[in-house]
Structures are given as structure tokens and as C-alpha cells.
Amino acid sequence: MEKLCVHTMTTKPWSLDDCARHYPAAGVEGITVWRQYLEGRDPLSAGAMLRDAGLDIVALCRGGFFPAKNATGLQAAIDDNLRAIEMAEALGAPQIVLVCGAVPGQPLEESRRQITEGIAAILPVARQANIRLAIEPLHPMYADDRSAINTMAQAHAICDALGSPAHLGIAVDVYHVWWDETLEAQIKLAGERNRLFAFHVCDWKTPTTDLLNDRGLMGEGCIPIRKIKSWVNAAGFNGFNEVEIFSNKYWSMDQNEYLQRITSAYQQHVL
Amino acid sequence: MEKLCVHTMTTKPWSLDDCARHYPAAGVEGITVWRQYLEGRDPLSAGAMLRDAGLDIVALCRGGFFPAKNATGLQAAIDDNLRAIEMAEALGAPQIVLVCGAVPGQPLEESRRQITEGIAAILPVARQANIRLAIEPLHPMYADDRSAINTMAQAHAICDALGSPAHLGIAVDVYHVWWDETLEAQIKLAGERNRLFAFHVCDWKTPTTDLLNDRGLMGEGCIPIRKIKSWVNAAGFNGFNEVEIFSNKYWSMDQNEYLQRITSAYQQHVL
């Protein structure tokens, strides 16, 4: 069960307290906290509660969504990301996952420019707080409204454009990038440039019946998870393997039973 | 309405006779025929019927699906493609669109190798029949079971690997490739290598509620169709603009009314 981290969104029906109680009991060692789980709570005490439960806080999820149609929207996005940095610092999360954003109909190159500028604007604050920012390339099927950054190459381009700052890197989620023939090379490059910050696992089911919430448990689909993990490890990554599954099907079942399936799938198809 | 072609699958509820009657009446000049519309018909007389109706036959759709788990499956795929070439020749279609195929769980590189070998096997027959083969890169969300060729770069790689034969080229469908930051360069390259064989249009809706059958009418989504068309035309393509829409929503409405919407969207968002 080594290095197993679960995203709170994976067990969506559970509260943060439920996660703190059930994750360690199942052998889960790490947790990535989605921001909505901290609504109405003090992040400082939430962080202490998770650590007291024996969990490593791997990341806060998610910042980003930089693109907007006007200056007000762009500034609002930056302000929101600055709040996320504050929240991560209080929680004790060492990094924030960035889902970069997109505005339907706005040229992708314009969104990419806004994303680069947005990251540039928050980077000094992140550095000061010692919070790392991990750009997560999203599958091209989310290019319309979730992220204009759809490949590792594009994530690298932003890191390069900003001068390869130490606090900026990439989160590799197998669901988003498994199809890319350049993936191995891009992961290797991320290792060389010290920007391989996170590794997320789940699986791609055939058929996939929903663009958002029909991800599979590891082993249920076609993604060569172990092969990609070997590339990530060869590139020097030795952090947590984060299980991030959005699934109407799994959210509707008993979450303790589901967590058992997760740990079992983790042992069979990730380790 | 110049250069407007409609795929028979776009107006799925209609038979080939319905298409022959209604397309020209609406101003449609070209037709791409899906193979199932020829089931139980003589392709020679079907072709004559379409031409008599005033339609240009733009392509036969679709060949491909080369990958398989064993030699029997691989040979069956080649045989099927040889039948498609015969059918295209009888119909009078100058080219076949190739949806290349994939086997869930089989490494994509293996599928790509099988695709390359499959095309190599049928190419001499296609050349002899003077039928062009157009590789259609499919969106990465179809990499599991529909096509291991998901970018223009991969389509180019196959054409290059086979020595750039004159009868092998690429079909650009905006739905599949709009998100690719290298798209303009890839289209330009396709022009330079005389392999830009087809241009398909529709739109990407936000939200998209079905991975297969929720495509939008041109103008309904976020794809910069005119911009991509300008690249295609700048690269020397002056063939038909093919409307290929799979949509449960549109298939359930009156198809004549839908065809009016198609011609209107074509004038407003493509020409």
C-alpha cells in the first residue's frame, strides 16, 4: 500500500472527517484535499486533524482556471489562486494542482497566454509560501471549457516560458495523457528539468459513458498504468501515487467497500 | 452552398434514396456514402442513381479498423478493406476514409504498427483501382477502441513510413484535431506533401453529453472552423467541405428541417 494517496473527490460522498477516519484504516497513507472539502472549516485545524489521523497531505486541488473574457475575470482568477495558496499553506499541503482553464470559443492560444500570465502573477507568492504549483495537462476532450493545456508538451512550454522556476512543475495524470505517443519522452524531460511533481492514476473504460464522471478503477480499462509509472519512476519521481477517480457509479456504492476495491486495484495494477 | 458535401450518417434516419432526393433539393452538391447504406444494394447502380440525382460522390466511409489480437483478425481486416476498395470502385467514389482502429488494452504502438502494415497490404490494390486512402486521425478520446491514430503527426508518420505513396493521404476533421497546437503546421505539411485529401466539419458543444453522438452543427460550439478552413485552403485543398455530424438530438428531428439548418450553418460558419 506504499505511497498510496487518495483524492477526497474519489470518495465524493464522504466528508473530510470521514476520509480522515476511513483512509488510514484501509491503509491509505496520503490525501489530496479538494478545496470544497474545506468550505466552512479552518484549514489550519483541518490539516492538523488529517496529520493526527496519520495522513500525509499530498496536495490541495485545485487552482487554475485562469482564462477569462475580460480583465475583471482575469483578476478574479488570480485572486482566487492567491486564496488557494493561503489555504494550502494553512492546511500544510506542499503543492497545488492547477487545472488551467479555458473559455469556450476563445482561441486556445489566447487562453494559453492568459494561463501563462496568471501563473506568472501568482508564482512569487507561491515561492514565498514554499508551495509548489503543478500544471496538470487535461485530456483534449476538456479543451473547450476546462483546460487549454492538453499535452505534456504544452505544460513544458509554460514552464520554459517562465524560466523553469523551481516551484512550477507538472502533474501527470494517466487518464489525460496515456494516448500521447511522446509521453515517455515528455516524462523523461520533466525529470531532467526537476518538474515532475505528481502522478495520478485511474483507468479509461471502454465504453466510457460520461466525459467527466465515468473513470475506471485501475485495471478496469486500457491504460498501461504500470508502464507509465515505470517511466515516471525512471525519471526520478518517488512521491505518492494519487488515486483520482470521478465516477457516478462508484460514488453511488458503499464507500468503504469502494475503498477496499481501490486498495486492491492499487496493489494489483499500480505497485 | 458551393462545395457542400453531406455524409449519409449525418442524416442517419434517411435511406440512400432519401439522401439522393433531398440533398440536391437543399443545394447539397456532394455526398459521402457510409458502407451500411449500400447493404443489399448493387453499388454500381447506387452510384449511377446518386450521379443522376446530381450528386458528386466524394468518398466511401469507412475502411480501416486494422488492429486485431491475432493473425486471423488482421487478415479479416485486410479482406474487409479490399472489399471496401471494390465497393468504392463500383460506386464511383474516388477515395475511402480510414478510421484506423484500436484494440482496447493492446499497446497503441502495436496497433499503430498493425495499421501501417494493414495499409501497406491494401495500398497496391487501391492504387490499381485508382482509389485514394485517407487516414482520418481521431480525437484522443477514441484511442481505446476506435483509432490509435489520434493526431495529424501520427497520420503523417504512417504516410512517411510507407514512402509517401500518391494514393495515401489524410482526412482532416475539425472535431478530432481542433485542440492541437501544431494543427496549422501539420496541415501546411500535408499540403506540401500532396496528402491533404479531405476536410470534415461539425462543431464541439459545451457541454458534450455523449462521446460519440453529441456533435454540434457548425457554429454551435467552440471550434474555429473558418480559421482551420483557411489553413486547409492555404495548403492547396479545394475539395468538398464534408458535413459529418453524429447526433442523437438531430437524428430525432425532422430530417428535412435539419438539412435546412445544416445548409444555413454551412453558409454562416463555413463559407
Which set of grid coordinates corresponds to residue A87? 489555504
Which superfamily does CATH assign the domain made up of B4-269 to? Divalent-metal-dependent TIM barrel enzymes (3.20.20.150)
Q: Is B139 on the interface with A (CB under 8 A)?
A: yes
Helix (H) and strand (E) counts for chain A? Answer: 10, 8
Residue A2 zone, left/alpha/beta (φ > 0; ψ -120 to 50; rest): beta
Inter-chain touch B145–A224, beta carbons under 8 Å: no
Q: Give one DSSP letter per residue of B193-239, joined into a string.
A: TT-EEEEEE-B--SS---TTTBPBPTTSSS--HHHHHHHHHHTT--S
Inter-chain touch A139–B140, beta carbons under 8 Å: yes
- A contacts of B207 (beta carbons < 8 Å): 145, 211
Q: Is B150 on the interface with A (CB under 8 A)?
A: yes
Q: What is the ipTM of this complex?
A: 0.96
Residue A90 zone, left/alpha/beta (φ > 0; ψ -120 to 50; rest): alpha
Which set of grid coordinates corresponds to residue A89? 499553506
CA distance A185 to A191: 10
C-beta atoms surrounding B144 within 10 Å? 24
Q: What is the domain partition of chain B in residue ranges? A: 4-269
Which set of grid coordinates corresponds to residue B95? 477515395
Select the residue of B107, B112, B140 nearest A140 (Cβ to Cβ). B140
Inter-chain touch B140–A144, beta carbons under 8 Å: no
- B contacts of A180 (beta carbons < 8 Å): 140
Task: Calculate how close chain B gets to A141, using CA atoms only, in Å.
Answer: 7
CA distance B101 to B119: 12
Which residue from B193, B203, B211, B216 is spatially nearest to B173, judged by alpha carbons? B203
Q: CB neighbours of B11 closer than 8 A, spacing ≥ 6?
A: B18, B19, B22, B251, B255, B258, B259
Residue B27 C-alpha from the chain's centroid: 21
pTM above 0.95, yes or no: yes
The helix (run of H) or strand (run of E) holding residue A64 is strand A56-64
CA distance B264 to B27: 11
Task: Calculate how close chain B gets to A251, using CA atoms only, in Å.
Answer: 19
CA distance A246 to A265: 16
Which residue from A92, A91, A39, A85 is spatially nearest to A62, judged by alpha carbons? A85
Amino acid residing at B139: H
Contact B240, B223 (CB under 8 A): no
Q: What is the pLDDT of residue B109?
A: 97
Amino acid residing at A203: D
Inter-chain touch B180–A207, beta carbons under 8 Å: no
pLDDT, one tens digit per residue, over A164-216 is 999 999 999 999 999 999 999 999 999 999 999 999 999 999 999 999 999 99
Select the residue of A109, A141, A180 nearest B141 (Cβ to Cβ). A141
CA distance A242 to A253: 21
Inter-chain touch A140–B139, beta carbons under 8 Å: yes
C-beta atoms surrounding A181 within 10 Å? 16
- B contacts of A115 (beta carbons < 8 Å): none
Contact B103, B111 (CB under 8 A): yes
The band of B270, judged by pLDDT with boundaries at 50, 70 and 90, is: very high
Mean pLDDT of the region B45-50: 98
Q: Is B108 on the interface with A (CB under 8 A)?
A: yes
The band of A1, judged by pLDDT with boundaries at 50, 70 and 90, is: confident
- Pairing relationship of beta strands A168-173 and B30-34 according to DSSP bridges: unpaired
Inter-chain touch A208–B179, beta carbons under 8 Å: no
Which residue from B61, B35, B16 is spatially nearest to B243, judged by alpha carbons? B61
Mean pLDDT of the region A8-33: 98
pLDDT, one tens digit per residue, over B171-225 is 999 999 999 999 999 999 999 999 999 999 999 999 999 999 999 999 999 999 9
The band of B240, judged by pLDDT with boundaries at 50, 70 and 90, is: very high
Question: Which residue is listed with cell 506540401?
Answer: B192
Mutation site, A113, A222, A223, A269, interface B, largest B CB count within 10 A: A222
Helices marked H in A43-202 — which ranges? Answer: 43-52, 71-91, 108-129, 152-161, 174-177, 183-192
Q: What is the pLDDT of residue B2?
A: 87
Task: Calculate how close chain B gets to A85, using CA atoms only, in Å.
Answer: 30
Contact B251, B231 (CB under 8 A): no
Task: Calculate how close chain B gets to A136, using CA atoms only, in Å.
Answer: 16
pLDDT, one tens digit per residue, over A56-91 is 999 999 999 999 999 999 999 999 999 999 999 999
Contact B248, B199 (CB under 8 A): no
Q: What is the pLDDT of residue B1?
A: 77
Inter-chain touch A207–B109, beta carbons under 8 Å: no
- A contacts of B108 (beta carbons < 8 Å): 179, 181
Which set of grid coordinates corresponds to residue B51? 450521379
